[in-house]
Amino acid sequence: MSEIQADTVVLGAGPAGYVCAIRLAQYGKKVVVVEEDDLGGTCLNWGCIPSKALISAGHFFEQAEHASTMGFTVEQPELDLSKLIAWKDGVVKKLTGGIGMLFKSRSVDWIKGSAVLVDGGTVSVETPEGSVRVKARDIVIAAGSEPAPIPGFDFGDRVWSSTEALSPEEIPQRLLVIGGGVIGLELGMFYAQIGSEVVVVEATDSLLPGTDPDLVKVVARKAKKLGVKVHTNAFARSWEDSAGVARITVEISGEESVLEADRILLSVGRRPRTKSLGLESAGVKVDERGFISVNEQCQTSASHVYAIGDLTHGPMLAHKGSAQGLVAAAAIAEKAGAAYDKRVIPSVIFTDPEIASVGLTEAEALEQNIEIKVGRFNFGANGRALSIGKAEGLIKVVSDAGDDTLLGVHMVGPNVTDLIAEAALAMESGLTTEDITLTVHPHPTLNEVFMEACEDVHNLCVHSPG
């Protein structure tokens, strides 16, 4: 067994792990990264990037079908699925290849293999060439998450996880989606746009549980226009393959029904990948769900072992993992003030239209007995939104009634996944809604909707009917 000495070993090369590794190298540390799959982790290979590439293609497909509203005569578009998947794979390859170049330029070593912690300063790695032992002062665990199963629905040819849904060999005529959360609705709407008959089965009483209901209503209306059928308070109990067709037994509001589909997309959430890492050997504690608790420096119960990304508590978001990776690197390098602040973590959902949020919802603020003021403005009254033919949606601002600081901003509409950054920066800086209104926003732009929603907090929105 060969042995390598490093300052830090990072387990996982997703958005949390690779960012942490590069930052540590920038701080002058000798870094070894262990990753058993391709660089980039779930996000770049089987999650954020490939899904958004396909979703972008779905939007284009739908826009081409409705080009006549702008005066263009366009033949009915046809989809070459193999070319679409090849294009998506090309986007992924360009980004993952970029990580490899960054590793090389910063002298970050990558060992391709599966890792197990031997103790708080040693990692054993199984590679195709044999076992390697890596010793380091600090260990960063960034192993990520995996799709969560449910009883009776094992992943396979007929039952897809998001991974299979992103590289289909053919478009299913009928797709049943179990779980109306972020992944289920993003991919469900994409398949509806390219011609599948989509049915969504959601266990709670609403799509996108935990999202502001005013935002969900807008997306639900668009899903209905696309022909997506939604069953809430519904549970998928079992399924059987009958002559190449999946027959799914679903309990809907207490009554059993049998639905048929060509494929089943199981998207009920993800779970942390912590079971096989040997965490107990290093003194790292996990909770009953497999998550690792960390402090503000992303340090675990073991003094020189850190954890970042999906396997820590909080939202499973790539940018959350990257932020934690930078904090962990700074803490390891003993940089003063390194701390992870979970209060201002934006959330983005690439449905049609998009959803983006940061901070407290109106309901959450009231639950905390905070006296609030709420302002809103619709994209339907925005010149830029009308001129690009995307006028559905609104922006809602929740502010503290006492000092006018921003508590939360919630958006649904065109390009809001980009617009939310302004709101996050404002909240991070402790700005008030008045600060936003006094900031001159260029015209005609979508950003003006945020400004006018802030004006509405004070009943001073010029373009509101009152």
Exposure class string for 356-380: b at 16+ Cβ within 10 A, else e: bbbbbbbeebeeeeeebbbbbbbbe
Query: How many whole angstroms from its chain centre is CA 395?
Result: 20
pLDDT of 223 > 90? The answer is: yes
For residues 311 and 325, give the distance between their C-alpha atoms in angstroms, rounded to a whole number: 13
Per-residue confidence (pLDDT) for residue 202, from 0 to 100: 97
User: Is residue 344 in some structural domain?
Assistant: no
Mean pLDDT of the chain: 95
Count up the domains in the chain and report the number.
3
pLDDT tens per residue, range 330-373? 999 999 999 999 889 999 999 999 999 999 999 999 999 999 99
* 289 & 206 share domain: no
User: Is residue 181 in some structural domain?
Assistant: yes
User: Mean pLDDT over residues 453-461, rounded?
Assistant: 97
User: Mean pLDDT over residues 74-93, rounded?
Assistant: 92
Q: How confident is the model at residue 316 (pLDDT cuts 50, 70, 90)?
A: very high
pLDDT of 1 > 80? The answer is: no
Which of 227, 248, 268 terminates a domain? The answer is 268
* 388 & 296 share domain: no
* 394 & 431 share domain: yes
Report how many helices (DSSP H) and strands (DSSP E) the chain contains, helices first.
13, 22
User: Mean pLDDT over residues 96-109, rounded?
Assistant: 96
Q: How confident is the model at residue 175 (pLDDT cuts 50, 70, 90)?
A: very high
Per-residue confidence (pLDDT) for residue 62, from 0 to 100: 86
Per-residue confidence (pLDDT) for residue 154, from 0 to 100: 92
Compute and round to an integer the Cα radius of gyration of the chain: 24
pLDDT tens per residue, range 245-270? 999 999 999 999 999 999 999 999 99
* 262 & 240 share domain: yes
Q: What is the CATH number of the domain that holds 291?
A: 3.50.50.60
Look at 465 and 283; give whichever has higher pLDDT.
Answer: 283
Residue whose tokens read 């912590």: 274
Q: Which domain holds residue 220?
A: 159-268
Per-residue confidence (pLDDT) for residue 75, from 0 to 100: 83
Q: What is the CATH number of the domain that holds 404?
A: 3.30.390.30
* 11 & 91 share domain: yes
* 363 & 444 share domain: yes
Going by C-alpha positions, the residue among 392, 409, 384 that lies closest to residue 353 is 392
User: Is residue 170 in some structural domain?
Assistant: yes
Per-residue confidence (pLDDT) for residue 115, from 0 to 100: 96
* 136 & 35 share domain: yes
Q: How confident is the model at residue 211 (pLDDT cuts 50, 70, 90)?
A: very high
User: Is residue 121 in some structural domain?
Assistant: yes
* 168 & 116 share domain: no
User: Is residue 21 in some structural domain?
Assistant: yes
User: Is residue 152 in some structural domain?
Assistant: no
User: Mean pLDDT over residues 273-302, rounded?
Assistant: 96
- The residues carrying an active-site annotation are 443
Which of 248, 268, 288 terminates a domain? The answer is 268
Going by C-alpha positions, the residue among 197, 348, 195, 344 that lies closest to residue 263 is 197
* 221 & 303 share domain: no
User: Is residue 371 in some structural domain?
Assistant: yes
User: Is residue 27 in some structural domain?
Assistant: yes
445: tokens are 């732009």
* 278 & 413 share domain: no
User: Mean pLDDT over residues 437-459, rounded?
Assistant: 98
What is the percentage of the chain residues whose pLDDT exceeds 70? 100
pLDDT of 73 > 90? The answer is: no
pLDDT of 104 > 80? The answer is: yes
* 312 & 411 share domain: no
Whole-model pTM: value is 0.94
pLDDT of 66 > 90? The answer is: no
